[in-house]
Amino acid sequence: VEPIIKVNGLRTSFRTDDGVIPVVNSIDFHVNPGEVLGIVGESGCGKSVTSLSIMGLVSSPTGKVEGEILFKGENIANASEAKMRKIRGNDIAMIFQEPMTSLNPVFTIGDQLVETLRIHKKWSKKQARLRAVDMLKLVGLGRAEELINEYPHQLSGGMRQRVMIAMAMICEPKLLIADEPTTALDVTIQAQILELMKNLNKETDTAIMMITHDLGVVAQMCERVIVMYAGKVIEEGNVQTIFQNPKHPYTVGLLQSIPDMRIKKERLYSIPGNVPKPGTSNLGCQFAPRCSHAMEQCVNETPSLLDFGDGQQVRCWLYEDGKGAAMHESNIG
Ligand code: SF4
Ligand code: MG
C-alpha cells in the first residue's frame, strides 16, 4: 500500500535571537491508509511542530521546513498557501486540544459546518445543512437540528470537541491529525471521545495521526506508535511490541508513568528531569542527562536508529552490542 503521508528527513527550525533552532530534527515516518498512528512524547519534543509542518502552518520567514512531506506521493513541504488551503480541511484535517481556539465564537455551529463544505465541496447551502445535521448525529450529538443554531459557548467542552470532530470529518479527509484532542477533558468524556474517534476510523477510511503525551491513549487507539524525544524519533513499533518489549529507556519511563487504576501505586512515576530546550546541544543522545543507563559514549556520540525487525526501531547505544536484554529485565517486570 502507498502511505497517505510519508515524511522523509523532516527538519523544522525557527529563527530566534539565539540563532536558528531545530525543533524537529530529521525525522522519518509514514501513515498508511486507514491506520491510527500514535506520536507520543512529553510536551516540547516536537510532536505539534511535526503536525503543523504537515499542515503547512509553519510560517516563514521565522520558521523553515526542510525535507519531504509526501501526500499521496506528492511533496507538499513548502507548497503554496493556495495549494495548502485546498488540502487543509479537505484532504487533511486537524483537531486540537482546545476547541474554542478553532471554533469561531461569533458563528453558529451550523454556519461553521456549512462553510467548510461550501469552501471545499462547493455544495449548496441546503445540501450542506442536511449533511451538517447528519454529521452532528454521527458524532453522537443529540438534538442536532437545534444544535446547529447554537453558538460554541453554549456547549460543554465535550460537546465542543465532538463538533470539532464533526467539522474535521465532514469533508471525509484521508488523514485526521489529532493533537492532544482529549487532554483538556475529564476522564469519562475523554474515554467517550476516544471511542468515537476509533469508531469513525473504523467506519470511514480516514487515517488518524494521534499526537499525545499519554501512552494510555496510544494503547486505546493506535496500531503503531512512534516515540519522539528532543525532535527525533527514538523508538518506533507496533503498539503491542512497544508495550511488551519497550527498548529505549525513555519509552520505558513513559510506560512507567501511565496512570493504572488496577495497580495502586504509592505515587505515579515520572521521568526525572526535563526535556532539553530545543537547540541546547545536538551532540550525543539528547536523553543522556535523564537516563540512568547513560555511558560516556552517550554524551559524545549520537546513536542512530537500529532496526529490530517487525517494524521496531530504537535509537540507543545500549543495543549496539547486545546489552539490551539485561537493561530490559532490570527495568520491567
Ligand atoms: Fe540512555 Fe545512552 Fe541509550 Fe541515550 S543512548 S537512552 S543515554 S543508554
Ligand atoms: Mg503539543
Please give the chain's pLDDT, 333 residues, in tens: 899 999 999 999 999 888 899 999 999 999 999 999 999 999 889 999 999 999 999 987 899 999 999 998 899 999 999 999 999 989 999 998 776 677 899 999 999 999 989 988 888 999 999 999 999 999 999 899 999 999 999 999 889 999 999 999 999 999 999 999 988 888 888 899 999 999 999 999 899 999 999 999 999 999 999 999 999 999 999 999 999 999 999 999 999 888 764 455 556 678 888 888 877 777 899 999 999 999 999 999 999 999 999 899 999 999 986 544 444 444 443
Domain-located, residue 214: no
Distance 44 CA to ligand 2 centre (A): 7
User: Ligand 1: which of 251, 287, 304 to mutate, judged by most atoms within 8 Å of the beta carbon?
Assistant: 287
Which grid cell is 60?
A: 516563514
Q: What is the pTM of this model?
A: 0.90
Q: Which residues line ligand 1 (CB under 6 A)?
A: 248-249, 285, 287-288, 291, 293-295, 298, 303, 316-318
Distance 298 CA to ligand 1 centre (A): 6
Contact 65, 266 (CB under 8 A): no
Report the candidate in 7, 14, 98, 10 with the shortest Cα–Cα distance to residue 58. Answer: 14
Give the DSSP H/E element, type plus range, for residue 53: helix 47-54
The verdict on ipTM greater than 0.90 is yes
Domain-located, residue 100: no
The greatest distance separating any two alpha carbons of the chain, rounded to the nearest whole angstrom, comes to 67
Domain-located, residue 280: yes
Domain-located, residue 249: yes
Structural domain for 311, as ranges: 223-333
User: Ligand 1: which of 317, 319, 327 to mutate, judged by most atoms within 8 Å of the beta carbon?
Assistant: 317
**Number of domains into which the chain is organized:** 1
Domain-located, residue 157: no
Q: What is the DSSP letter of 88?
A: B
Distance 242 CA to ligand 2 centre (A): 22
